[in-house]
Structure 1
Amino acid sequence: MKTLKSEEAIAESLQLIDKVFRGSLVIKAGDFLKWKLYFRLGRLSWVTGGVNPNERLQRHLAIFCPKITPTQLQQIPLEHQPYREQKVLVDLQGQGLIQRSQMASLMESIAIEVLFDAIQYGETNNDNLSCNKVSEEQNDNLLLLLPFLNVDAILTEAKQQWDEWETAGFSKYSPNLYPTIKQVTLLKSVIKSDVEQKIVRSMDGNQTLRKIAAKNKIGVLDVTRFVLSLFDLEAVTFSKVPRTKNKTSTVIDSNPSKPIASAKAPSKKTPPKYHKTKANKSPLVVCVDDSPLICKVVKDIVLEQNYDFLEIQEPIKVIPTLLRKKPNLIFLDLMMPVINGYELCAQLRKTPRLKDVPIIILTGKDGLIDRMRAKMVGSTDFMAKPVDKLSLLKMLEKYLTVNQ
C-alpha cells in the first residue's frame, strides 16, 4: 500500500500498472471514502467512486446523450451492484440511445471529475490518501464493449482543472456541495442578469454546483464564483447532502470551508513566514491567504522589487502579527476559514495602529457586489485572482510610493 498526497503521487502509483494487469487501483481516504480505477490488460477502462456516483452518472448522461429523456434518466437503476454504471452504458448503447463516441467522451469526463475530487482531497486534508493495487476477476463480456481511456491525458486534465480551481481561491469548496437559498428578499435586490436568475432558480438544495453548471450550460468555475458571492452576503448556504435526504428538510452545513468528506480533518497550522531583503528599511508587504500557491506568487513578485514580505495563512494570527510587524501594504484574501476577508478587513480598520494601512482585497470573485461590499468594510482597493504580475506591480507602485 502506498500513501498519496498529490496528483504527482497518483501518477507515480499509476506507473506501477503493468501491461497485463487486470484489476483495480483503489485510492482510499479514511474508512469510508474511496475512488476506484479499473484496468484491463494494463489499460484504464473505468473510473468510479467518491461521493454522488448516481448524481454524477445521470448528470453526464444528460450532457452527452441528448436522446435520453428525463423519464428514461429516472428509470436508470441506482442500486449498488458490480459494474452497474458500465451495464447502464452498454444497455443504452444496445437501445441506440448512445453512440460509442458519446460513450467515450462521457467516460473520460467522469474519470476527470473523479480524479479531480481525489486530488482536491489529497491537497486540502492533513490525512494522506492510500493506494492499493488489487488483482481481481472482471466481466470481460461487458468490458470488451467499452472503449479504453487515456489515463495520462485524463490525469493531466484533472490536474489542470484543479490548478484553475485552486488559483480561483476555491480549494476549500467542493463542486459537489449543494447550495440553497437562505434569504430570498436579499437576492431580489442583487440579482440582475438572466444568467444569474437561472442559477438562483436552480439553487433548491437538491442540485450540486456541478449540476447547476451543467443544467445552465455555464462553467462550474463561473457558477461557483457567483454562488460564493451570495454566500458572502449570507443569502445562500451550503449542504454536503441533497435537501431531500436531510430528515429535517433544512440545510445542515452553512460553512462549506472544506471539501466533502473532509469535515473532520484539522486545519493546517502554518506559522507566518517573514522574508526580509538586504535593505534595512524596505517597506513590508503582507499577504494574508490560506493558499500557499497564492502566497508564493505574491512573494516572488514582491521580493523582485526589493520589498520585505510576510505571508500569513491562518486568519486568527493576522491582527497580533500585523501589530508586531507594522506593514506598509496588505493583500487580503476574501475566502478563508474561520473568518472571511470582509470581517477581517473591518476588524483591521477598527484597530488604531492598522486603520490607515492600505488593504487590497484579493479574490477570485471580481463582481460589482464584491467591490461595493469591500469598500463598505474599508478596503483600499480590489484585485482579482489569479494574480497577474502587471496588476500586482501597479498596486505596489501606487500604494508603496505614496506611503514610503
Structure 2
Amino acid sequence: MWGNLKEIDFCSILRLIEMGQRTGILCVEAHSPPQKFNLGKETKNRLNSWLVFFVNGEIIYAGKDETSSASPSLSRLSDYLRHYRVKLAVEDLPNIEADELNPPEYAYIWKLLAENILEPKQARSIIHNLIQETLFDLNLLRQGSFTYINSVALNPQIGTWQVTPLLENLIHQAQQWQQFLPHIQSPQQFPILKDIPNLRSSLPIATVTRLQQWADGKTNLRQLARYLNRDVVTLAKAIYPYVQQGWVNVADSPVVPAKNSSSNQTLNLVSQSPAIVKPNQLRILCIDNSLEVCQQVQAICQEQGYVAIALNNSLEALSLMFQDPPHLLLCNVAMTELDGYQLCGMLRHSQYFATLPIVLLNDNHDFIHRTRATIVGATDYLTTPFTNQEMLNLLQSHLA
C-alpha cells in the first residue's frame, strides 16, 4: 500500500491499517514543509521520514526514521528521562548492536527497561507519548508520500496501543490547535516571559516561578511538554491566554533574555561560565536589590576564588537553589517577592538546607531584627553597608 498525502489523509491511512489488522511498518515522507503549518526549521530543504510500527492493527512505536544514521538523535528520550529524573545520560549507555527491526530510540528504551533503570509503567508511558507526538506531527503534514510494508513486528514488545482511541485524541488535538493560530503555530516555537508583573498578579507565585524556570526562550514547546509529561496541545492551551495578552511571547528560534530587564534581572558576578566551574569551587548566592552590594560581594569572591551569583528576585533564587545548591546564602531581609526572613524559614524546614549557612543582610542592626533572624534559623546577621574586611571575615568563618 502506498500513495500521496494529497489523495488520502493520514488518519484514513491509520484506519485502513487498523481495519486490516496488519503487522508491518508505515513510512511517511515529507518532501517539503507544510504550507499551512510550520513544523520548524529542521523540515526545510531536506527529506524527513517517520516510521510507525504495527502489530495486528495496533501501534507499537512511532518516531523519526534514523535506522541508517551513524549517530541517531536521542533527544526525545533524553527529555523524558529528565522528567522521570533518571540519573543516567543517554550518551553514557553502551552502544547497542545494529538491528534492522528495532529503531535506536526503541532499542535504548528496552535497554533501560532490561537494566531496571526504567520501570515498565514508565517505559510504556514514554512510548505512548512518543507515539502521540509523532502522530500529531504527521497529521499536520499536507505534502508527502507514504508506503506501508508488511513485515515482522518489533520484538520485544513493550506495549501496544489501539488506533481508534489514538485517532480520537488526535482529531480533538487538531481541532484545539487550530484555535491557537496565528499566535501559536508550531510545537517547535520557543516561549519566553515578557510581562512578569502581570503574570504574577494573575497566577500563583509557584506557577510563575516554574514558568520562569522553563520559559527561558531556549526551550521549545515540545521540549517543555516532555519535561512536564504533558502533550503539547495541553501546554499550548495553558499559555495561550497569556500569549494573546502579550505577556508571553513565542519565537521561531531560540531567544536569549535581556540581562538588564527590570522584571527579570540576573547578575552573574564572576567571569567564569558555569560550564567551566571546578567541582571543588565554593558557590555563594547573594540575593539583594542593591547593585552596590552585589558588586562588592563580587570583588571579594573573585579575590578568594569563589563562584558568586547574585539575583534580585528571591523566588527565582529559591528555584535556582534546588537546581544548584550554594555553599553559602546571603539574603537581604527587604526583598519584595519573598523577604529574607520568610526565605530562611522555608529553607530551614527542608532537611536539604538544614545545615546551609544563611546570612541575612539588613540596614537595621537593632536587637529586634537580630532576634527575628535567630528565630527563623539564620546562621549570621550582617548590617549594610559593610566593609570589605567584614565580608571577608564572614566568608572565611562560614566557608572554612
Range class of TM-score, shorter chain: 0.3 to 0.5
